[in-house]
Amino acid sequence: MRGKLWTRLAPFISRRHVSTSQASLSSSSSSCSVIHPWLFIGLGNPGEKYQCTRHNVGFDMIDMFAQSQGISLTRHHFKALFGEGMVEGVPVFLAKPQTYMNLSGESVGPLAAYYKLPLNRVLVAFDDMDLPCGVLRLQPKGGYGRHNGVKSLIYHFRKNREFGRLRIGIGRPPGQMDPKAFVLQKFNKTGRERIDSAIEEGVEILKLVVTKGLTEAARSSNVDQKYKHLTTHDMQL
């Protein structure tokens, strides 16, 4: 690790000195290991017009996580609002692309490349119409379904789909309503309450990803979410 990457991540290097007996000094008296960062991305649209809409729950998730960890998201970096901090001793980068949803990959692709992060250390939070409102689903990889923001990420990751996703359920559009119009609307009172509760749960899930890894976090959190709001999948919220 050299150059700019070394400069930025130097404070995050963990040196663990291993004490040994005199008999083992010939093999090693210390070891040095690198704690690899996480990059958490929230998808949404910039500007006051889109605040609190269904399509911006990814932004909401990252905002709440940043607030909970005391991380400032005021720096502009690779077309994103960006912040960095430590969570349980692990470096975490947070970003909210400001490119508009369908071009999110223009920000996230170069951002991950700049920090030389493998995609299994990248996690994206976004809205999902295939889940009931307020239900979360954590996955290590997948497709993009009908989500153009995730589609843009895959394109800029050179069609690699093996990055983490925190899907945030927003429910289905009622009747014959255009999905494009549905995602740009705000929630009603009940829907907003469910989303706010889900975002609080999502913060804990992201903390679990940092401390336990994505696979273990998914195993425990998805069980809790599986039957949540089961009877309200098609309710307009």
pLDDT interval class at 177 (50, 70, 90): very high
Q: For the segment 70-107, what is each residue's pLDDT rounded down to a tens digit? A: 999 999 999 999 999 999 999 999 999 999 999 999 99
Rg (CA), the chain: 19
pLDDT interval class at 228 (50, 70, 90): confident
Active site residue 156: no
Q: How many angstroms separate the CA atoms of 63 and 69, rounded?
A: 10
Q: How many angstroms separate the CA atoms of 82 and 108, rounded?
A: 11
Q: How many angstroms separate the CA atoms of 110 and 112, rounded?
A: 6
Q: Which residue has the tokens 């009877």?
A: 231
Going along the chain from its start, the domains and CATH numbers come out as 38-232 (3.40.50.1470)
**CB-CB contact of 200 with 166 (8 Å):** no
Check whether 150 has a pLDDT greater than 60. Answer: yes
* Whether the predicted model's global pTM rises above the 0.95 cut: no
Of 17, 36, 55, 147, catalytic: 55
Q: For the segment 186-221, what is each residue's pLDDT rounded down to a tens digit? A: 999 999 999 999 999 999 999 999 999 999 999 999
Mean pLDDT of the chain: 87
Q: How many angstroms separate the CA atoms of 93 and 83, rounded?
A: 6
